[in-house]
Each structure stands twice: as structure tokens, then as C-alpha cells.
A and B are shown apart, each in its own frame.
Chain A
Amino acid sequence: MAEGVNVTGSLRNRLAVSLIGGAAVLTILLFIVVRAYAAQIAQQGQDSILAASVSSILDAAILREGTVEVDFPYASFSMLSTDADDRVFYAIYQDDKLLSGYEGLPHTPEGAMARTVHQTASYDGVAIRSATDVRTLVGADTRTIISVTVAQTQDALQVTLADISRNVALYGTGFFLLSVLLSFWATATTINPLKRLTSSVTKRGPKDLSPVASPVPVEMASLVASLNRLMGRLDTSLHQSEDFIAEAAHRVRTPLATVRSHAEATLQRVDRDENRQAMRAMIRAIDESSRAAGQLLDHAMTTFRADHLERTSIDLVELLNELVLRLSPVAEMKDINLTIIADEPVIVEGDSILLQNGIRNLIDNALKYSPAESDITIRVAASPRPSIQIRDQGPGFPSEGIEDLLTRFSRGDNVKGIIGSGLGLTIAQDVAIAHGGEISLENQPGGGACVTFSL
């Protein structure tokens, strides 16, 4: 279908690859963004629990008789329980002096802090997240600042993040696969008008060079317009060739006929033997030229039409009757009896001009090679295939190289002295093949050739 076409790349592949590539990039972006966002949310969750723990400890801090007491509730640490059993560290400072808890925690000394400070740090070799807040206790004559830090390892957070990452990766993959399916669907939908155009052009009849009328997408409009113009030009040029062939046939044959009739008339008038001889040779040459011109035009016509037959219903018997009628003057000159044997009309689908050309050339051959006062029998049969059999009583085909006769410009080696171009059988065979048939040549047992033209 695409032989001889210079193909690089595929629109469909290019479209699919860009759609899938786009989906892949979007999926990766989605994964990164969602994971970062989830990490932020999870961290916020841990931070708020740490802050709540800090504030519950700070709330319990009181000054009693000048001593700081921090009777914080069980829930202060209970709320820090996680599935991964994260380690908990805390420190309670009074004016930068460690009252209780762990030393060395990220501790923010005094300073006007409006809200809880969160920090990520390393403690005892592990990463921790801490929350620190301060509160000023006012006693009878003292003022003291209590600072509380609660810190926690991030094992549960990591587990949560790993879960989220896995889920996001799963969803991302799902969406990606869905996008791939959608990409294929979108590609197919986009490519469809092109396919439709291709099939509508491919399915056209040989003579159909009319413009494409079915609607096409706007992107294909100019292509189709160009195609339509090209077909228009092709149509015009085809018609011109056909006209030219018909014209040329006419122009060549008519003057030759005129020259021949003049030559014949002259032959009647000359008396000298050598002149008559020359005239006869001239007439023979004219006949040869006329015949050759005719056959060349027939051959050209056959070649031209064979690619796109104009099939109509034809009655072979009627066609033969017409041909015989037209050829009877020639037959009568040689006293040859042309007989058609047919019981009933044989209707075939075919190109009438081509069939006429082909069969005329066969009968022409038979007339040419038949001796005077002989019979040519034309038998038309409808079954097993529509066929025409022409028998003459001439010399028949040379026994050797019978098949070669069907090639162009080849003639039998037993026909010296008879005018011929070697195109007759070729034309007939081209016509038969164009109609899906064949020609077979054989010699009759009692002498004479038998040609069968079957469709």
C-alpha cells in the first residue's frame, strides 16, 4: 500500500509518545508535589501534638512558696504514643537552669516568644523534632521564666511518609496507565479522518477523479484541497490523452487511405510492367503502414484503457456480428467465408471498445493468413466461460515457439510475404488479460489455426 513512499516516522507514534511522555512527566510531578505536601501535613500533625504536650506541662507549672512545681498530667506524654513507639525527650528549665528532664535538648533560652518554637535536631544520634515554649511565673516577690521542651523521634512519621509515598506512587501509576489508554484512544481518534480519507481514495473506481466531498478536519483541508486540484489536473490530462489518441488514429488513417486509393487508381492507369510492380509494392507498403498505425493505436488504446476498464453489459454475439459486417469487404476480396456459430446471446461485463479491438485483431489475423476461398468459423460459447473460438484454414502456427507469438512484435517464421506488425495477438491478449481472461493458440489436426479468446 505504501510501496515506493518515502516514510519517516509515524504521526500516530509521535502523538502517542508525546501524550504518554507528558503523562509520565505529570505523574512524577504529582508524586513529588503530593509527597512534599503530605510530609508537611504529617510534620504539622507531629508539631501540634508536641505543642499540646508542651502547653499541658507549662500549664501545670506553679510557684509554691518560692519553689517551682510542675505536676504535669499523665496525658502530657500519653499523647505522644505512636505506632512506632517513638522515643520521647523533654526538658524543663527555670531561668536557663535545668529543673528536670534531659540535658542538651534544643532549648531556646528566654526571649519574647509569642508562640511555640519547633526545631529539627539531632539528639543521642537520632533525628528529633522538638517544641519549646516559655511561660513567666509571677510569685509574691519573684518572677521566673519556665521553659519547656518536648522532643520526639520521627520513626512513626517516616512510616507514615513511606505509606503515603507508596500510596501516591500507586495512584500515580494508576493515573499514568489510564493516561496511556486515553492517549491511545486520542491518537486513534485523531488519526481516524486520515484513515477514512486514505480508504476513500483507495476504494475509488479507476475513472473516478472527482474531488473528495466528505467532510475533513480543518487541519487536513489544505491537503485535501491540493489532492482535489491534483486529481482535477489528472482528469483533464487523461481526457486530453484519450482525445489525442482518437485524433491521432483518425489523422493517420485517413491520409493513408487517400494515398492508397490514389495509388490503386494509378495502378489501373500504368501499363509498363515495372511501373505496375512498383505501384503494387507501394500499395503493399501503404497497407502495411496503415495496418501498423492502426495496430499501434489499438495497442496504445488497449494499454491506456486496460488500467481502468469501462465495463458495460455487452452481447458478444452482437459484437461479432457487427465486426464481421465491417470486415466482410476484406473477406469478400479473398472469397473467404466468415461464419458465426452462436445459439443465443452471450452477455459479458466488459469494455466494448477494447473487446472490439482485441477480437477484430484476431479476425484480422485469420483473414490475413487464410488462403483464398477458404472458411473461417467463429464459435461463441457462454460456458464454461464466455469464449470465442476462431478457426481458419491457413498454414497454422509454427510448431515451435508457439507461446512466443504472444509477445510484442513477434511473428511466426512461416509467414514471410504477408503484411503484419506482430502486434495483433499481443493486443488481443492484453484485452483478454484486462478482462481477467486469456488467449490460447493451437493448430487444428487437419491444418489451420485455432485461437480461443476466453473471458
Chain B
Amino acid sequence: MRYILALILCFLPSFSIAQEWEDKQLFQGENARKTLRVLSSTDTAFFAPIVEQFLARNPDWSIEYLVTSTAQIDQLLREDPDRFDIVISSAMDLQLKLVNDGFARALPGIAHPSWAQWRGRLFAFTTEPATIVINKAAFNGKPIPQTRQELILALRQEPDLFRGRIGTYDVRQSGLGYLFATQDARASETFWRLTEIMGSLDARLYCCSGEMIDDVASGKLLVAYNVLGSYAATRQLNDDRFEIILPSDFPTMMMRTGFVSKHTQHPDAAEAFIQNMIDIQTSGAGAGSSRLPPLYQTSETASPSVIVLEPALMTYLDKLKRRTFVKEWMNAVIQ
């Protein structure tokens, strides 16, 4: 008995490493014989319609859908590129760097606007804004801030009300949070002032948008900054305790991207999966069936507030740059 317990204890750590997915789900096709492994940062509920449509068209496949954080995705793929066929992530910078470093397979068969793809390997399929989510009850009767500047003023006016009840991404943990923060910092000095205010009011730090939205809805938080708008909008459908604000001074929009691993065993199926995903997200008809916002296409170019897919995204991933940025951010937030 002691031995068994010891054995269990021995295996537990490795077991737990293997089980460290935020979510793991196997979608079975009707006559599934082969499996595509999709590594993703998108919650299963949001991505399921895309997977199901693919399986409806390709019944001899099944999809193993593995969800983890964006930073974890980057690490996993670099360690073991053979394990996954498709990589979906909201952290554009990490994705671009993976492609730049040669982890993606070229998909010449997919036609996509040049602003929404990089090197014919990385394909964007959603456009999602970073938003401010506020608790309605807390702002009852008060003007709702529409810009970061107005938010700063609101926080300054009632520091005691907001102390400890503001949330934002922990940029050290969340790849998406880091991307939003660095892009905000590029766009305006306002970001640093806001961060300092939030730091002085003991802001809570989160790993994920979902938890921030939960806490705003419940009233634990009054304001959450840089929450993924698509998640918030979906939650708002059956929860009206919070309000979503698209900052009108400078909106930051992210594009969710996907690529096929260079070492995939099933290149054709993986390409078909990406193509199917793009089709759903770009055709007006299919958009209804998806729970993810479509790729925002107004004209030949992306909207100016959308983060551009370009090598410059690697700037803030530089070790020295990241060290400097995180140090500054921590100085502002953790006072």
C-alpha cells in the first residue's frame, strides 16, 4: 500500500504536467480514423462551431482540441513541434515570431488579403478589440468614461471607491495582456498614467479575460481594463450587470491567428482546417454560426487600429526590451 502510494506520488508530477491543459476535448467525426491536434488559446466554447463544421465536411477526421495560455503555446511548440498540427492563438506577436522562426508550414493554396496573413503561413481570422468593462451598478448615475483619459479622471475622483476593485492583465503571465499593454504603450503615454493610477489603487492582476469579466459582473471588480471584447460581448448576451466600453481615444484591435505546424503529419487536412476556419470567419453567411467575431473587412486594408502583422511585433519579445518593459510596468503597477 505504501508502495502504491509512493508510485502514485511519483507519477503525479509528470501526470499533472501532462494534464496542465486549461481544457482538452476530443471532437469525433462520424467515421473518424485520423486525428488533428489543435493547440489553441481560444476557449473551447468559442471555437467549437468551427471544429464542428470542419468535421461535418470531413467526417473521417477527429479533432483533439487543447487549450492553454498563449505563453504556454509558444513554449510547447518550441519544445516539441511534432506534437501539434495546428496552432491557434490570440497573441499575435508570439505567433508571428513562431512563424518567423520557421515553425509554420506554407499554405500556398489559401488566398487571404496580405494584411491578414504573413508569409502565406500565418492567417488572421478574427478582429477583436481590447475593451474596458465596468460594473453598471457602480457607475449608476455617473457619467460612463468613454476614453482612457476619462477613466483616469473617474478613478482619481473617487480613489476610495475603486481601491482594490480594478482589474487588468498581468502582463508577465498573459501573452495577450503583454501584447495589449505594449501596443497601448506604443500608441500613447496615457497608458502609463492609467497604469500608475491603477497601481496606486492596488489593481488586481489577472491571467485571463474570462475571470475579469466574472469579477466585474459579480461586483468584485468595478472596472477591468483591456478585456477581450469578444468574450465580454458573448457574456453580455445573458448577463447585463456590466457594460463594455470601446475606448474612443485609440482603440486597440487584435487579430486571432492560426498556422499549420511545419512538422504536421497531415498537411492537407490541416490546410483544409485553416481554409474552413477562414471561410467561416470571412463569409457573411457563416458568421452567424460562429461565436467568434468575424475578420473585420471594410476595404483593401485593415482598420488602422488593428495591430499590424509585421516583423516589428517581435520588438517587445526581445529579452532586453521585455525586461525593460516589465520592469517599468511593475514599477507602475506594484508600488
Binding site for B on A (CB under 8 A): 68-78, 80-81, 83-89, 92, 99-101, 124-125
- Which of B10-18, B61-69, B76-84, B315-323 touches A? B315-323
* A71-B321 in contact given A87-B100, A88-B100, A124-B102 (Cβ < 8 Å): yes
Q: Which of A84, A85, A92, A124 has the most CB of B within 10 A?
A: A85
B179 CB → nearest A CB, Å: 13
Chain A residues with Cβ below 8 Å from B186 are 74
* A74-B312 in contact given A69-B324, A100-B318 (Cβ < 8 Å): yes
Once the chains bind, are B119 and A85 in contact (CB under 8 Å)? Answer: yes
Tell me the nearest residue of chain B to A70, going by C-beta.
Answer: B320
Chain B residues with Cβ below 8 Å from A77 are 310-315
Determine the main DSSP class of B at the interface with A.
helix
Whole-angstrom distance between the alpha carbons of A86 and B310 in the complex? 9
> What are 21 of the A-B contact pairs (CB < 8 Å)?
A68-B320, A69-B320, A71-B324, A72-B315, A72-B318, A77-B310, A77-B312, A78-B315, A80-B312, A81-B311, A85-B118, A85-B119, A87-B102, A87-B119, A87-B311, A88-B311, A88-B314, A92-B318, A100-B319, A101-B318, A101-B319
Whole-angstrom distance between the alpha carbons of A74 and B318 in the complex? 11
Chain B residues with Cβ below 8 Å from A101 are 318-319
A55 CB → nearest B CB, Å: 16
Tell me the nearest residue of chain B to A83, going by C-beta.
Answer: B114
Once the chains bind, are B310 and A81 in contact (CB under 8 Å)? Answer: yes
Residue in A83, A87, A89, A92 whose beta carbon sits within 8 Å of that of B320 in the complex:
A92
Binding site for A on B (CB under 8 A): 100-102, 114, 118-120, 186, 310-315, 318-321, 324
Chain B residues with Cβ below 8 Å from A69 are 320, 324
Tell me the nearest residue of chain A to B314, going by C-beta.
Answer: A77
Whole-angstrom distance between the alpha carbons of A99 and B114 in the complex? 33
Chain B residues with Cβ below 8 Å from A72 are 315, 318, 321
Tell me the nearest residue of chain B to A75, going by C-beta.
Answer: B312
Whole-angstrom distance between the alpha carbons of A73 and B311 in the complex? 13
Once the chains bind, are A74 and B320 in contact (CB under 8 Å)? Answer: no
Whole-angstrom distance between the alpha carbons of A83 and B118 in the complex? 10
Tell me the nearest residue of chain A to B183, going by C-beta.
Answer: A74
Residue in B114, B118, B312, B321 whose beta carbon sits within 8 Å of that of A70 in the complex:
B321
Whole-angstrom distance between the alpha carbons of A100 and B120 in the complex? 27
Whole-angstrom distance between the alpha carbons of A363 and B185 in the complex? 131
Tell me the nearest residue of chain B to A57, going by C-beta.
Answer: B318
Whole-angstrom distance between the alpha carbons of A85 and B112 in the complex? 14
Tell me the nearest residue of chain B to A100, going by C-beta.
Answer: B319
Chain A residues with Cβ below 8 Å from B320 are 68-71, 92, 99-100
Once the chains bind, are B315 and A80 in contact (CB under 8 Å)? Answer: no
Once the chains bind, are A76 and B315 in contact (CB under 8 Å)? Answer: yes
Closest 9 A/B residue pairs (Cβ)? A78-B312, A100-B319, A88-B311, A77-B312, A85-B119, A81-B310, A77-B311, A70-B320, A100-B320
Whole-angstrom distance between the alpha carbons of A124 and B313 in the complex? 20
A88 CB → nearest B CB, Å: 4
Once the chains bind, are B119 and A99 in contact (CB under 8 Å)? Answer: no
B118 CB → nearest A CB, Å: 5
Chain B residues with Cβ below 8 Å from A71 are 320-321, 324
Whole-angstrom distance between the alpha carbons of A78 and B310 in the complex? 7
Once the chains bind, are B318 and A81 in contact (CB under 8 Å)? Answer: no
Whole-angstrom distance between the alpha carbons of A124 and B103 in the complex? 11
Chain B residues with Cβ below 8 Å from A80 are 311-312
List 11 extra interface pairs beyond A71-B320, A76-B315, A89-B100, CB under 8 A: A69-B324, A70-B320, A71-B321, A73-B315, A77-B312, A78-B312, A85-B120, A88-B100, A100-B318, A101-B318, A125-B102
Q: Which of B118, B311, B318 has the most CB of A within 10 A?
A: B311
Tell me the nearest residue of chain B to A155, going by C-beta.
Answer: B119
B109 CB → nearest A CB, Å: 17
Whole-angstrom distance between the alpha carbons of A125 and B102 in the complex? 10
Once the chains bind, are A81 and B321 in contact (CB under 8 Å)? Answer: no
Chain B residues with Cβ below 8 Å from A78 are 310-312, 315
B203 CB → nearest A CB, Å: 24
Whole-angstrom distance between the alpha carbons of A72 and B316 in the complex? 9
Whole-angstrom distance between the alpha carbons of A69 and B322 in the complex? 11
Q: Which of A80, A87, A101 has the most CB of B within 10 A?
A: A87
Tell me the nearest residue of chain B to A64, going by C-beta.
Answer: B324
A218 CB → nearest B CB, Å: 65
Tell me the nearest residue of chain B to A61, going by C-beta.
Answer: B320
Chain A residues with Cβ below 8 Å from B315 are 72-74, 76-78
A152 CB → nearest B CB, Å: 8
Whole-angstrom distance between the alpha carbons of A89 and B102 in the complex? 11
Q: Which of B313, B319, B321, B324 has the most CB of A within 10 A?
A: B321
Whole-angstrom distance between the alpha carbons of A83 and B319 in the complex? 27
Chain B residues with Cβ below 8 Å from A68 are 320
Tell me the nearest residue of chain A to B324, going by C-beta.
Answer: A71
Tell me the nearest residue of chain A to B97, going by C-beta.
Answer: A88
A89 CB → nearest B CB, Å: 8
Whole-angstrom distance between the alpha carbons of A414 and B302 in the complex? 120
A272 CB → nearest B CB, Å: 132
Whole-angstrom distance between the alpha carbons of A75 and B311 in the complex? 10
Whole-angstrom distance between the alpha carbons of A99 and B318 in the complex? 10
Once the chains bind, are B319 and A99 in contact (CB under 8 Å)? Answer: yes
Chain A residues with Cβ below 8 Å from B324 are 69, 71
B74 CB → nearest A CB, Å: 15
Whole-angstrom distance between the alpha carbons of A92 and B120 in the complex? 29
A328 CB → nearest B CB, Å: 114
Tell me the nearest residue of chain B to A73, going by C-beta.
Answer: B315
Chain A residues with Cβ below 8 Å from B119 are 84-85, 87
B329 CB → nearest A CB, Å: 13
Chain B residues with Cβ below 8 Å from A99 are 319-320
B250 CB → nearest A CB, Å: 15
Whole-angstrom distance between the alpha carbons of A124 and B311 in the complex? 17
Tell me the nearest residue of chain B to A68, going by C-beta.
Answer: B320
B328 CB → nearest A CB, Å: 9
